[in-house]
Structure 1
Amino acid sequence: MSTTDDSYSVPQNPDDLAQVSLKEKWWHILDTWKIGIIPLPLFVLAGLLIAVDCLGGKLPSDIVVMVATLAFFGFACGEFGKRLPFIGKMGAAAICATFIPSALVHYGLLPDVVVESTTKFYKSTNILYLYICCIIVGSIMSMNRTALIQGFLRIFFPMLCGEVVGMVVGMGVGLALGMEPFQVFFFLILPIMAGGVGEGAIPLSIGYATLLHMDQGVALGRILPIVMLGGLTAIIISGSLNQLGKRYPHLTGEGELMPGKTTQAAGPLTAAFSGKTDVTTIASGALLAVLLYMIGMLIHKLIGLPAPVGMLFIAVFIKLVHGVSPRLLEGSQVVYKFFQTSVTYPILFAVGVAITPWEELVHAFTFTNLLVIVSTVSALVATGFFVGKKIGMHPIDVAIVSCCQSGQGGTGDVAILTAGNRMSLMPFAQIATRIGGAINVSLALLFLGNFLV
């Protein structure tokens, strides 16, 4: 077997492997033994360097150190979740990457310097929005233009039907358990469908504080755990739907909502990774995503529309009018693929450490609350599945978008789509979360203010 410093081949036969050089064995370890995407030797090195900083009493919160820190812990938690029996295939990786860090923080098992640096980095950089904008723009640019149009026009009907059925089922279960209708709807069902924390739970708590004459902190303390439990339920269901799609392939488009329409992602992305897309094009794709998000921020200042939604509409418009070249589309798709594979678990770890309160989640873990939450989310998703199938869409993919109606905002969309292995559905997930949540919160507070108070 001949080899050079730039290329080598690893023998498939174990007996032949013993005959290769030490250099090639080392390369084989680097290329095949991995934690997430990190080669095992680099993973061990990262852990040692982080430990040295922690023992020194200070872990810098600059981007260089935090990239290694978030990658180390995020992929470790994700790998642990993937290897769990049975539930490892049902979205446990995303759950573990988010909730294990939260539990470690609560029980004091994560070094304080790691908690402080991660929280400071997450809150000061708003890195989640960089992640979301690259995922949204890249996934839109990867879509077939006709499928994009048809998907956006049709997705609203299953979403609406799912919310109505979910509310009815949730109320019915709550009433059957002897719970007060007001508490069931406004403090269980509505928080589940409010659109997450920033755009849902917080505005809802402010409205409750004003209309019900209660402290906002108390209202938020009651709402936030329900949002988290609803998101957790949606993650598990999304992972289960992914497994269902593997067993019954005719029910899914593997990230496509419309039958008979294949995404453009596979072709361009293959070309991009073969080396036909240069680094300047990839950089331009990243800059496109950032600039579109800045336009979304401007739209938010002018009319109050959430920045990710404004960015989503602009990106769809650019795609529909062929506003960017095929080469730039490829650059956006490579950026999307990079963030999907390399940044998801580190982001989820940061979310778990910085903004996921474990104690509040545990306190809301009552039998009656769980029954209402699980029945509401299950009914919502099942309705999306069957309505989507009835109107000619891929039912599993529609159902996974419906899961995002119960998600924990942008972070919930990431976890749900990761569990369902459908990150290309992020644009539709953002519609379900942001627009659907905003409509639910606005109508509920309007109804509460005019008729019940």
Structure 2
Amino acid sequence: MSTVTLQEKKSYRIMGISLPLFGLITVGVLTATYMEVLPKGMIGAFALMMVLGLILNEVGNHLPIVKDYLGGGSIVIIFGSAALVTYNVLPESAVEIMSNFMRGEGFLDFYIAALITGSILGMNRELLIKASVRYLPAILGGVAVALGLVGLVGAIIGYGAKEAILYIGVPIMGGGMGAGAVPLAQIFGSSLGVDSGEMLSVMVPAVALGNAVAIVVAGLLDRLGKTKPNLTGNGELMELENKKAEAKEEVEEKEEKTAINFPMMGRGLLLAVSFFTLGSIIGKFLPQVHSYAWMIISVAVVKALNILPREYETGAFQWFQFVMTNLTGVLLIGIGVAFTNLQQVIDAFTIQYVLLVAVTIIGCVIGSGIIGKFVGFYPIESSITAGLCMANMGGTGDVAVLSASDRMKLMPFAQISSRIGGAFMLILASTLLRFFI
């Protein structure tokens, strides 16, 4: 007779773990939580936040409408965990452990350091440089029109131009949650002298609603392309004459397929925290720009000048992939628990708010489409990649937008928008705050 162990049983899995084993882990962690014997510090925080993140992620990724238009698991993790705190489902001791892990123990900064350093160093260097010549102007056009339009409408309807730009336009164009809203809230909080959690409670609904609107608009742009064929390349970004002049590899991101190397990942970890520290040093002398922005600038300069050997860049990229794959759920739980005031989020959803979100999306489509046409792109493809892929929720938003528009082959450009465009928004936010405060 053969026996079937938990490890051998082939069934539905969560994070690669069979349901029986995951169930045992969950029971153990929740028992410790409600007995209030959950270990303090990172051990208890990781245990509870990983379990909750995995469960809520599964729920979000299987809910109709939510999974297709509202960000799926990411949104459910944030709002679900916020609800657990708001309605006192979790013991206060557990909330304190998770909140301290995010704020006092610096997990938020740890995640952001890995994300920014690895995503930039992991890009193809030639693509990064060439994109800045032609693709980045299209991104800038979308951002400029989006922020200008939302500011104008905000002033007209009485919401306030400054408030509309800073709290709605910038977060939507910021590249999602982990790389956008979260560091933006930190930048705004430190610059304005307010709690970053309060800032995030205002930004989260803008990002979520902006993501939903971006997906819907992507489908509408696909239909427009079928009606007006002269506006689209049917999945090709560059117009025909430019395609002939440019080599195909210039528009394709070629990331080396390197086997996972644990010592190399360790070097990536060291690089991530070192660049974060460098940003803090520069920020001490030049406080007008946030230290996050200086970190981004430092990494981008090192990448563009090809200063680091490729193995170090690969290490940073592998470390970033590990953190993003395994710890994003933890981060989102932390956002919900420590930074999201559910009542403020509910209060934010007004007719004015929804209108301003829609105006931001329309602005980025118009701006990136027009500038894209000037630099030799098809307007619809430029609007989708340089516009909507700036306004969605990062990686998952890119997939949703490109799927809705039936243009998945444009993923390399969508990734530039999410990585470099999102980093640019952090720098822009630091600059805008100097004029608004």
Identify the TM-score tier after normalising by the shorter chain: 0.7 to 0.9
Q: Which residue of 2 aligns with 1:72?
A: 51
Who wins on radius of gyration, i.e. which is larger? 1
CA contact (8 A) 1:189 1:373 kept: no
- The letter for the 1-side match of 2:425 is T
Q: Which residue of 2 aligns with 1:420?
A: 398
Structure 1 segment 175-214 matched on structure 2, within 5 A: 179-180=157-158, 183-194=159-170, 196-200=184-188, 203-204=191-192
- Could you say if the C-alpha distance between residues 325 and 229 of structure 1 is closer, same or farther in structure 2, counting changes exceeding 3 Å? same
User: What is the alpha-carbon distance in structure 2 between the residues aligned to residue 21 and residue 245 of structure 1?
Assistant: 57
Structure 1 segment 287-366 matched on structure 2, within 5 A: 287-304=270-287, 305-366=289-350
Give per-residue Cα distances to partners, 1:279-338, cap 9 Å, x unaligned: 212211221111111111111112123222222222222223332323333322221211
Residue 224 of structure 1 and its aligned partner are, at CA, apart by 6.1
Give unpaired runs (5+ residues) of structure 2. 172-183, 224-232, 239-247, 400-413
Give per-residue Cα distances to partners, 1:370-427, cap 9 Å, x unaligned: 22233224423553355346535663332255327xxxxxxxxxx5444335667554
User: What is the alpha-carbon distance in structure 2 between the residues aligned to residue 245 and residue 68 of structure 1?
Assistant: 43
CA RMSD of aligned residues (A): 3.5
Residue 28 of structure 1 and its aligned partner are, at CA, apart by 3.8
CA contact (8 A) 1:235 1:419 kept: yes
Alignment partner of 2:60 out of 52, 76, 81 = 81
2:99 is equivalent to residue 123 of structure 1: no
User: What is the alpha-carbon distance in structure 1 between the residues aligned to residue 126 and residue 61 of structure 2?
Assistant: 35
Give per-residue Cα distances to partners, 1:113-172, cap 9 Å, x unaligned: 321211111111221221122122222222111111123444553344334433454356
User: What is the alpha-carbon distance in structure 1 between the residues aligned to residue 202 and residue 267 of structure 2?
Assistant: 40
- Could you say if the C-alpha distance between residues 371 and 238 of structure 1 is closer, same or farther in structure 2, counting changes exceeding 3 Å? closer
User: What is the alpha-carbon distance in structure 2 between the residues aligned to residue 245 and residue 77 of structure 1?
Assistant: 32
Any idea what SS the aligned residue of 2:103 has?
A: helix
Aligned length: 386
Q: Which residue of 1 aligns with 2:141?
A: 161
User: What is the alpha-carbon distance in structure 1 between the residues aligned to residue 68 and residue 325 of structure 2?
Assistant: 17
- The letter for the 2-side match of 1:331 is G
- Could you say if the C-alpha distance between residues 166 and 424 of structure 1 is closer, same or farther in structure 2, counting changes exceeding 3 Å? closer
Give per-residue Cα distances to partners, 1:76-135, cap 9 Å, x unaligned: 111111101133133222111212111221122233332121111111122122112212
Structure 1 segment 227-306 matched on structure 2, within 5 A: 227-237=203-213, 250=235, 260-265=250-255, 267-268=256-257, 271-273=258-260, 277=261, 279-304=262-287, 305-306=289-290
Q: Percent identity over the alignment?
A: 22
- Bigger drift between 377-386 and 354-363 goes to 377-386
Any idea what SS the aligned residue of 1:27 has?
A: coil
Q: Which residue of 2 aligns with 1:63?
A: 42
Q: Which residue of 2 aligns with 1:370?
A: 354
Q: Which residue of 2 aligns with 1:383?
A: 367
Give per-residue Cα distances to partners, 1:247-297, cap 9 Å, x unaligned: 9982679xxxx98433232x33xx314xxx3x2122112211111111111
Q: Which residue of 2 aligns with 1:443?
A: 435
- The letter for the 1-side match of 2:168 is I
- The letter for the 1-side match of 2:8 is W
CA contact (8 A) 1:300 1:310 kept: yes
Q: Which residue of 1 aligns with 2:31?
A: 52
CA contact (8 A) 2:164 2:356 kept: yes
2:8 is equivalent to residue 27 of structure 1: yes
- The letter for the 2-side match of 1:439 is T
- The letter for the 1-side match of 2:207 is G
2:75 is equivalent to residue 95 of structure 1: yes
User: What is the alpha-carbon distance in structure 1 between the residues aligned to residue 435 and residue 337 of structure 2?
Assistant: 33
Structure 1 segment 98-117 matched on structure 2, within 5 A: 98-117=78-97
Structure 1 segment 406-417 matched on structure 2, within 5 A: 415-417=393-395
